[in-house]
Amino acid sequence: MDENGDPSKKKKNKVVQVEWDGLAFKDMVNLKTLIIKNGSFSKGPKYLPNNLRVLDWRRYPLKGFPDDFQPKHLCMLKLPEYLFESYKLDSLSKNLASLNVLNFDNSEYLKEIPDVSGLLTLQKLSFSGCKNLTTVHNSVGILNNLKVLKAEDCESLRTFPSINLPSLEILMLSGCNRLAKFPEILGKMEKVEMLRLCGTNIKDLPSSFQNLCELSYLILSGNTFHRIPRVIVDMPKLSTLYINVEAHKYKTWESRNKLEEGVEGTLSSSNVINLTLNNYMLSDNFFPLALAWFRNVKTLDLTRNRFTILPECIQDFCFLSSLKVDACKKLVKIAGIPPNLKQFSALDCINLTKEEATSVLLNQELHENGRTEFALPGTTIPAWFEEQGKGDSISFWFRGEFPSNALYFAILLRNRQHRATRITTMVSINGKKVSRGGGRTQMQDLFIFDLSVTNKTYHLDGICFENKWNHANVSFELEIGGGTMAFGMHILKQESSSIIKDIQFTNPCIKNEDDEALHGIDSIDVRLRLQPGSATSQPASQNPLGHSGDASHSKGNWAVPQFRGGTVFARRNIKMMLCVMFCTMLSIVVCGLGMWLGKN
């Protein structure tokens, strides 16, 4: 800590200089755990307790152990940043019968891993970051109980012994940039499920690689493969394959050309369902050839490649639901799409700008089954979005359950200042915010999506609201990017038969009041207020509707007609009432005129 006791200001990994005579542990006969992380000792230990179970000593200051050290109970031996040359463990192997963990990570002067055949109980062996290591003893490959083998970032290591490790679960060889050949696998290894092989000089995988019979996840990144390794087709459990070439190796790929040459001549398709092939300079020839190997893929990421068209044959990928072609700068046309495509991304496809090039992606039928999420270049919102507007929100009324599975939205961004744009979707019902969910971290000009897919934090499904009609507002917030926004909303056809009557874009409450008033036209009570004392006049208190007279509604001797419910009707209804009043007046006039003529 600092002088004020603030632990946040503690200096990390500060090396403490220790002056001692090497005898400090002589009287600690029952010491079982010794961990030293940041000490730099003037001398090595002259004595270590034989009862040690754990010895973890960073920058251990000796080539070996004291002569009288008998570590029969030692289970964990970690000597990271080991300072001197390899200590020959041969003489100690007979005394390390209980050793489970052996760690030489980041030992600067370690040049070889010695014979470890006597370490029969060893479960974890790690010598990552040993930049001067050139030799690994063959015994490393025959440890029956070994579960973890880490040898990453050994920059001088050119070869690795064959391995037959039936208990192995984790194998790590990434960063060994001079390692040109993957080790032969001499027997079935059924517990390795994931393998990361990044930043090596390996150009192909041996046929014995299929002995990793339970391997399901394989990452080959930053390597120099001339072609897709043929052996992966014969690996029944391999489901995810990620291959990425580093940007600085573009020229190598361009000169040697075709990764896709590796798929020629095959008669069977792999079981890979998640395939990533980034930076591979794939040409238009890739797609028909890929159908031979990868017909079963469900997600396909082809970011930063050189094909110019997504051909019609891509429709034969019957299981493909997610397709990503970001930064494919030569792509100019989408000629076909897989029949079950749900997610599509074409960020930074600078030549995919003409509407006819992407029209197949905007087809209404493609999106009617729901659950799609498309980001692509565009200048207009498709016409099948019935409700369109500008701004950052859209409102509607619904009754019953919130229709999250029936709503489709389109967002169009114009004059964007940045490509990276995170969209946050917020839903308010009756003025109260009820849901907030994040969408894409990057999007193109046009983003089409199913609300239930994009708003990951939805908890409104199945909730029935008490009000007959509820006002919903869906708003969209851009974290960065700027520019203006237009939006569109569509109700899925498959939901329309049952839900269209429960969604309105104008306030149905006002409409219902008008409908009720119009429905009462057959029971209108019309009353004329004549001169006081007339045989036909009635006091206001005798109004049959039970309402008192209102001088503000009268004009001269004529009373404004009173309607059941107190609602003043539309103009055509007033005309009809005026006609009734006119006819009544005319009858009175005719009767009076007849009486006058009779007297005369």
435 membership: H or E segment, kind and range: strand 432-438
Give the burial string for 522-550 (b: 16+ CB within 10 Å, else e): eebeebbbbeeeeeeeeeeeebeeeeeee
Please give, one letter per residue, the 3-state secondary structure of 558-591: EECCECCCCCCCCHHHHHHHHHHHHHHHHHHHHH
Q: Residue 453: which of 440, 434, 467 has the closest Cα?
A: 440
Name the least confident of 363-372, 446-455, 543-552: 543-552
Name the least confident of 227-231, 477-481, 492-496, 516-520: 516-520
Q: What is the pLDDT of residues 238-279, one digit of tens each?
A: 999 998 876 544 443 333 344 445 555 555 678 999 999 988
**Dihedral in degrees, nearest 10, Cα atoms 470, 474, 475, 478:** 160
Name the least confident of 126-135, 302-311, 317-326, 520-529: 520-529
Amino acid 544: pLDDT: 35
How many whole angstroms separate alpha carbon 192 and alpha carbon 212? 7
Q: What is the pLDDT of residues 65-76, one digit of tens each?
A: 888 888 889 999
Amino acid 140: pLDDT: 95
Q: What is the pLDDT of residues 460-511, one digit of tens each?
A: 655 666 668 889 998 888 776 566 788 899 988 665 556 677 888 888 877 5
Q: Report DSSP state, residue 184.
A: P
- Residue 283 banded pLDDT, cuts 50, 70, 90: confident
Amino acid 122: pLDDT: 95
Amino acid 308: pLDDT: 94
Mean pLDDT of 445-470: 70
Residue 95, pLDDT above cutoff 80: no
Mean pLDDT of 526-531: 33
How many whole angstroms separate alpha carbon 503 and alpha carbon 398? 4
Handedness of CA 31, 33, 37, 43 (dihedral sign): positive
How much of the chain, in percent, has pLDDT values that exceed 90? 34
Amino acid 560: pLDDT: 34
Q: What is the pLDDT of residues 554-577, one digit of tens each?
A: 333 333 333 333 333 344 456 666
Amino acid 538: pLDDT: 39
Residue 159, pLDDT above cutoff 90: yes
Residue 214, pLDDT above cutoff 70: yes
Q: What is the identity of the amino acid at 71?
A: P
- Beta strands in 94-146, from DSSP E residues, in sequence order: 101-103, 112-113, 124-126, 135-136
How much of the chain, in percent, has pLDDT values that exceed 70? 72
What lies within 8 Å, CB to CB, of 146 at 6+ separation is 122, 123, 124, 125, 165, 167, 168
Mean pLDDT of 292-313: 92
How many whole angstroms separate alpha carbon 466 and alpha carbon 336? 46
Q: What is the pLDDT of residues 405-417, one digit of tens each?
A: 788 889 888 766 6
Most confident stretch, 14-18, 187-191, 590-594: 187-191
How many whole angstroms separate alpha carbon 565 and alpha carbon 561? 12
Q: What is the pLDDT of residues 538-560, one digit of tens each?
A: 333 333 333 333 433 333 333 33
- Residue 5 banded pLDDT, cuts 50, 70, 90: very low
Amino acid 32: pLDDT: 95
- Name the token pair of 236: 């029944």
How many whole angstroms separate alpha carbon 268 and alpha carbon 233? 7
* Contact indicator for 312, 292 with CB cutoff of 8 Å: no
- Residue 400 banded pLDDT, cuts 50, 70, 90: confident
Q: Across-strand partners of 17?
A: 40
Most confident stretch, 160-164, 278-282, 443-447, 456-460: 160-164
Q: What is the identity of the amino acid at 24?
A: A
Mean pLDDT of 506-535: 48
Q: What is the identity of the amino acid at 567?
A: T
Amino acid 548: pLDDT: 37
Residue 518, pLDDT above cutoff 80: no
Q: Residue 454: which of 405, 419, 414 has the closest Cα?
A: 405
Residue 206, pLDDT above cutoff 90: yes
Amino acid 290: pLDDT: 84
- Computed over every residue of the chain, the mean pLDDT equals 78
- Residue 533 banded pLDDT, cuts 50, 70, 90: very low
Amino acid 421: pLDDT: 67
Which of 251 and 176 is assigned the larger pLDDT?
176
* Contact indicator for 374, 449 with CB cutoff of 8 Å: yes
Question: For the chain, what is the largest distance between any 2 Cα atoms, rounded to a whole number of angstroms?
Answer: 155
Report strand pairing: 112-113 vs 54-57: unpaired
Name the least confident of 181-190, 280-289, 427-436, 475-484: 475-484
Give the burial string for 201-210 (b: 16+ CB within 10 Å, else e): ebebbbebbb
Amino acid 455: pLDDT: 54
Q: Exposed/middle/buried for 82, CB within 10 Å: 0-12, 13-18, 19+?
A: buried
